Amino acid sequence: MGKDVIIACDFSSAEQTYEFLDRFGDRRPFVKIGMELYYAAGPQIVRQLKQRGHKVFLDLKLHDIPNTVEKAMRVLADLDVDLCNVHAAGTRKMMEAGLRGLTEGAGKEDRPLLIAVTQLTSTSQEQLAEDILIDRPMEDVVAAYAAGAKAAGLDGVVCSPLESPVVHEQLGADFLTVTPGVRLAGDAAGDQTRVTTPAKARELGSDYIVVGRSITAAEDPLVSYEQCLRDFVGDKAEA
Ligand code: C5P
């Protein structure tokens, strides 16, 4: 997997999702299915999008006791997605259990990549202190959670592009940083707090950017997607 733009398909039905993706013609962008779409359309939407030729990031952010996460991951492995995730806050033991479930469920060498959410990109430094009672700089917290994910054998983390440099510095260039909190210049941040542009994310060394509303809510989503690709991947972006 190389650098790419992942579109967050935060829709409430399969119909809306296909209506949106039909605007991309023959293009098959890497897509993210999160809780809203998965809860509305179920595993079928994942199978259909894979069948249509999309790479899929299944963003269900599992966070439960190790036994439950292991069993859930074993079931999810059957969907053959490209990327899926758990919360690092669930502990190293939980991440190890998730990885075990995914590996055994996939039953083959090329299991889906597993990454851990460090701190949500909607969480600010103030909220980290006041609501989650963590009184340390966000960057240190993300780096520590990422180290836990690496120790558990995971392939990378979800973090803000602003934290990609510290994660790569401390854990190596191969440890993936998948980064939401991305906005095209001029777009509203909405509920996100740790945001940057695709060009800045590229400069900071993110491996993948996850872009939702800057593409899904754009007047012409294809134009916005192409701009994200150009700004993030550069000349190698698919024409
Ligand atoms: O619309 P927007 O670009 O803010 O969408 C970002 C997407 O990435 C959402 O689907 C959100 O659930 C997801 N995400 C995030 N921050 C994380 C993990 C996932 O924003 N840490």
Note the pLDDT of residue 239.
Answer: 47
Residue 64 main-chain phi, psi, to 5 deg = -160, -170
**Whether residue 180 has its Cβ less than 6 Å from ligand 1:** yes
Index of the ligand 1 atom closest to the CA of residue 213: 1
Q: Does 121 contact ligand 1 (Cβ within 6 A)?
A: yes
CA nearest 93: which of 126, 116, 120, 124? 116
> Mean per-residue pLDDT for 90-103?
98
DSSP 2: -
Q: What is the whole-number distance in angstroms between the Cα of residue 40 and the centre of ligand 1?
A: 18
Residue nearest to atom 13 of ligand 1 (CA): 180
User: Using an 8 Å Cβ cutoff, are 36 and 14 in contact?
Assistant: no
pLDDT of 1: 59
Tokens of 170: 């401390």
Q: Which residue puts its alpha carbon closest to atom 20 of ligand 1?
A: 180
Concerning whether 61 is annotated as a catalytic residue, the answer is yes
Show the domains of the chain with their CATH numbers: 4-236 (3.20.20.70)
CA 25–ligand 1 middle distance (angstroms): 25
CA-closest candidate to residue 208, choices 82, 111, 89: 82
Instruction: Give 88 Cα–ligand 1 centroid separation in angstroms.
Output: 16
Distance between CA 228 and CA 234 in Å, rounded?
A: 9
Long-range contacts for 10-17 (Cβ within 8 Å, ≥24 apart)? 10/34, 10/36, 10/37, 10/212, 10/213, 10/216, 11/36, 11/37, 11/40, 11/216, 12/36, 12/37, 12/40, 13/37, 13/40, 13/41, 14/40, 14/41, 14/44, 14/45, 14/48, 17/41, 17/45, 17/49
Look at residues 185, 182, 179 and name the one whose alpha carbon lies nearest to residue 163: 179
Mean per-residue pLDDT for 68-76?
98
Dihedral sign of CA atoms 218, 232, 111, 63 in order: negative
Bridge partners (DSSP) of residue 7 are 31, 211
Q: Is residue 206 lining ligand 1, measured as CB closer than 6 Å? A: no
Catalytic residue among 3, 55, 61, 71: 61
pLDDT digits (tens, 9 = 90+) for 118-130: 999 999 999 999 9
Average pLDDT over residues 53-66: 98
pLDDT at 238: 54
Predicted local distance difference test score (pLDDT) of residue 110? 86
pLDDT mean across residues, the chain: 96
In this prediction the pTM is: 0.95
pLDDT for position 132: 97
Instruction: Average the pLDDT over 159-187 and give the result.
Output: 97
Answer whether residue 174 shows pLDDT above 90. Answer: yes
Does the beta carbon of 228 sit less than 6 angstroms from any atom of ligand 1? no
Pocket residue to mutate for ligand 1, from 17, 31, 59, 128, most atoms within 8 A of Cβ: 59
